Amino acid sequence: MNLFRTAALCAALLPTPAFACASCGCTFTSDWLSQGLVTQPGQAITLRYDYVPQSELRTGTDKVDQSTIPLPTDREIERRTDNHYVTASYDRQFANDWGFEVAVPFIARPHRTIAEDTITESRSDASGIGDVRLIGRWQGLSTPAGVTGLQFGVVLPTGSFHHRFVSGPAAGEQLDRGLQPGTGTVQAVLGAYHYRRLSSDLALVVQAQGQFALTSREGYRPGTIGEASISLQWLGGRTVTPQLQLNGRINGRDSGAEADRENSGGEQLFLAPGLTVRISSHLSAFGLIQVPIYRRFNGYQLASSKVVSSGLQLRF
């Protein structure tokens, strides 16, 4: 298997999703390593599901014991957020080093919290289409020794951001902007990646990417996100390709009158084992679990102990 055919196989391992998420302790960086890593002309359709259960209240690098917090209090105490993402994407690679991807997420986000100066839970159940992601790529820097590419794109404000609490003392009040399916803002995406074979059965992929808001909307501007990853992939199997990633993410604070600036932003480091199974010459199934090894949050934020991803990709 030559270099470019192998690179295309690695791309099928974890296709790119599109998430709508503020810096509220959630991390959706489970597959930066495969974004745009498609070197042979062709097309792909991917359907992916990601589950991010946020149940740990944390501050700084510590976990908060909610049972020790007397109620009512002058601080909101978030209890749990279950993030469900179903992302459909279409990818096209041309023969002249250029390619693009369009990703459309559907988001369901049940949320429970105890608002300031209350003692009972308020609940929301925001759901809908999230912010659509359009990413282009150019791989003109590639050599026979490795594939090197640049990424550039935009996240469009297609997701809704006016959902409200449905029960509890906060019923009827607007949900925090960081919990809405969309941000309401236009964001730019810039990145780069490199792939090379270390041996006949082992490949290395590194990637870095930044995402930053170009606009604000109704008193809210999401914080800048910086991501970096390194991955080792074993290519010796005929139908199963395992990989191990180390993912890092830095979130800047959200800003604006409607932002929870005090309780946003931080740094996180994750270890993520995953694999893909080739079902046929065109169809692959993939799965990944991401677990934290370091987390630091500004203020008080809900965090997840894992991110679980799975899906199918059809290449033609």
Phi, psi of 22 (to 5 degrees): -90, 180
For the chain, list residues with pLDDT below 70: 1-40
| CB of 183 closer than 8 Å to CB of 211 | no
Three-state DSSP class for 56? strand
Whose structure tokens read 């009827």? Answer: 172
Beta strand pairing call for 240-251 and 225-234: antiparallel
Global pTM value = 0.89
Whose structure tokens read 């003392």? Answer: 169
Domains recognised in the chain with CATH numbers = 3-315 (2.40.128.130)
How far apart are the C-alpha atoms of 53 and 113, rounded to whole Å?
A: 14
Q: State the alpha helices, DSSP H only, in the chain.
A: 3-13
In our burial notation (b when 16+ CB lie closer than 10 A, e otherwise), range 34-45 reads: bbbbbbeebebe
| CB of 44 closer than 8 Å to CB of 25 | no
How far apart are the C-alpha atoms of 123 and 175, rounded to whole Å?
A: 10
In angstroms, the Cα distances linking 62 to 20, 23, 226 are: 26, 17, 22
Residue 311 neighbours by CB distance under 10 Å? 23
Q: Cα angle at 112 between 66 and 79, to 5 degrees?
A: 15
Sequence length of the chain is: 316
| CB of 251 closer than 8 Å to CB of 213 | no
